[in-house]
Structures are given as structure tokens and as C-alpha cells.
Amino acid sequence: MSDLADNGRVKKQTIPSPNPVAEYIIILFSTLLVVLELVSGAADEPLFRIGASIFCVLLAIGMRMATRRSDNKALHIIFILYIFPVLFLLYPVALGISRSLHIPEFDPVLIQIDRFMYGGIDPTRWIFAHIHLLPVTVEFLEYTYFAHYLYALALAAELFLRKRDNQLLEFRAAMLYATLLSFLLNMIVPAIGPRFTLHEFADITKELPGIWIVDWIRSQINTGEGITSVMTSTIAKMNVLRDAFPSGHTMLTVVTLIFAFRTKATVRWILLPLGVSLIISTILLRYHYVIDVIAGIAFAIFTVKSLPAVMRYTARFDHRLTRS
């Protein structure tokens, strides 16, 4: 409700200060990356990684200060969207530092866990041997896997258009929290996935053919991971980012679905089949082990359950900080 000035005129109402949880998470995570980079002593692009991490810290601080009590709607839209370039920047930085720490790959452990759950069977090998995926099925699965970021954007767009600002900001915080948590877990438990360990990577086009643009989609995914489709598994293993555990695609999709149904968004009925297809595709298309997907679902639930407590803590901390 607008307040009245002493002269009877209505004061200009400001947009409430958003919860700063996302900004504090960015600051903490980026600072951790700087420390790890200094500890690792890597010779490969350390200045870029340190510079990128410091830039993200300064950007988060600047956005927090600029939006604390601002009524500029354009600035608040930028505040909502700026985390996307931040995440795209932090992804290769975090996984590059992970490689510099020389933590051994956990693929043998993850393979053994899958075999334990399935009686000595490797799920992706069993699927290839017993289930013939039609090219049109492969095509659709690749679409749903590749377009995962559109699911969050679709929900965010509906919440924005329906002026459900508090739900939008909470969803934004949850997505950033889940994304950076997945990056951290990728660093702690580095793994490359069954495309390279249980199958010959260069044969994927022949063994899982599509119809129209599957090869293009795969080339975009491979480029983002620092590899090309013509590489053998041996060469790809040396270059690919180690981001298999947990499945970030699964983790972010489950968070999106939880918020879509929690907010009763109309788009939830479109996102549900697409999200289920994405989760299935992570196994059928050999991007992840089954345990990666289970972990992705578990950590998505953990993110949503723990977010309210994290938001309360950061709000209290921010309030004390701004009063001092």
C-alpha cells in the first residue's frame, strides 16, 4: 500500500528489495573458485579463471547494491536475467579448476554402483543390446535433452507475465542454487559418463542415428564440453569436461517441475512430459549413468527443501550487514 507524504501527495512506491540469496551464493561459490585456483597452481589459463571468478563476485555485489531499494523496473529485469551469463561463465571455470586439482575420475565407482543396482548389468549396454531405438525416437529425445534450459525460461516467463514476482524470485534463487550445487558436486565427484567409458564415442552416430538435426545438436553439446564427434573415446576422455555426476539436466528439470506444480503454472502440463522425456534421454542417449540421474533427483529435492532456510539466513545476514 502506498504511503502518504505530509503534503497529502502519494509517495512513489518502490519495488521491495529482493532476497539476496542468489547473490550471496554467487559470491561464495566464485570466491571458492579463486581459492581453489590459487591452491591448484594450474599453469593452464589461471588468470582467466581467477579474473572470471572475481568478475562474478563484483557483478553480484553490484547488482545487489543497485537493486536494494530501486523502483527501476528495467533494472529489476536485468537483475533477474544476469545470472544466466554468470552461470555460463562459471561452468567452464569450475570444471577447469576441477581438472587442475587432479582428482581421479569416479567413473569406475559409478559403474560399479549401477551394476550393483542392476545385478551386474550396465544399463546403457543392456539397452543397446535389447532395445532398438527408432531414429525418430532418438531425434525427439535429443530435442528434449538439448532444450532443457527452455523449460526454466518458460516457467519464468509465465510467472513474470502473471506478475507473480515473489514466486519468480524464489524460482530464480532455486535454479541458481541448484546449478552451482551441481557444479560443486561435479568438481568433488568428477566423471565423464558412459559415452566414453562403456561405449565407443565415435560410433554414437552410427549406433544411435537420428533423422534431421541430431548430428548438429550433438555437435553443439560436444563443443560446449570441449570435444568433437570424430574423436575416439580415448582422445575425448582427455578433453571432455567431467560433469556426469550428478546429472545437472535432471537436477534443474526436477527443480523446474516442482516449482511449476507448486505455483500451479499453466505451462506445467507441457513441461511434465518434456521433463520426463529428458530424464529418460540421459540414460538412453548415454549421457549419464543411472546413479547420476538418481543423484540429480535427490539433490533437486534437497535444493527445494533447504532453500527456505537458506533464504531466511541470507536475509537476516544481509539485514545486519546493511544496518552496520
Helix (H, G, I), strand (E, B) or coil at 4: strand
Neighbouring residues of 223: CB distance < 8 A, sequence distance ≥ 6? none
The DSSP secondary structure of 122-177, one letter per residue, reads -HHHHHHHH----HHHHHHHHHHHHTHHHHHHHHHHHHHHTT-HHHHHHHHHHHHH
Can you give the pLDDT at residue 39? 83
Q: Which amino acid is at 215?
A: D
State the Cα–Cα distance between residues 97 and 105, nearest whole angstrom: 14
Return the exposure string of 293-305: e unless at least 16 CB atoms fall within 10 Å of the residue's CB, then b: bbbbbebbeebbe
Q: Looking up cell 557444479, which residue turns up?
A: 183
Task: Note whether 152 and 256 are within 8 A (CB).
Answer: yes
What is the value of pTM for the model shown?
Answer: 0.89
Can you give the pLDDT at residue 316? 83
Residue from 18, 248, 281 nearest 149 by CA: 248
Task: Note whether 243 and 139 are within 8 A (CB).
Answer: no
Neighbouring residues of 323: CB distance < 8 A, sequence distance ≥ 6? none
**Phi and psi (nearest 5°) for 10?**
-80, 130
- pLDDT tens-digit map of 16-27: 456 788 899 999
Return mean pLDDT, the chain: 89
Can you give the pLDDT at residue 13? 39
- pLDDT tens-digit map of 250-276: 999 999 999 999 999 999 999 999 999
State the Cα–Cα distance between residues 32 and 188, nearest whole angstrom: 13
Can you give the pLDDT at residue 3? 40
Sign of the CA dihedral with 71 first, then 74, 75, and 76 last: positive
- List, for the chain, all residue ranges whose pLDDT scores fall below the cut of 50: 1-16
Can you give the pLDDT at residue 17? 55
Can you give the pLDDT at residue 8? 44
Residue from 324, 290, 237 nearest 110 by CA: 290
State the Cα–Cα distance between residues 193 and 217, nearest whole angstrom: 18
Can you give the pLDDT at residue 76? 78
The strand pairing partners of 276, in sequence order, are none
Can you give the pLDDT at residue 79? 84
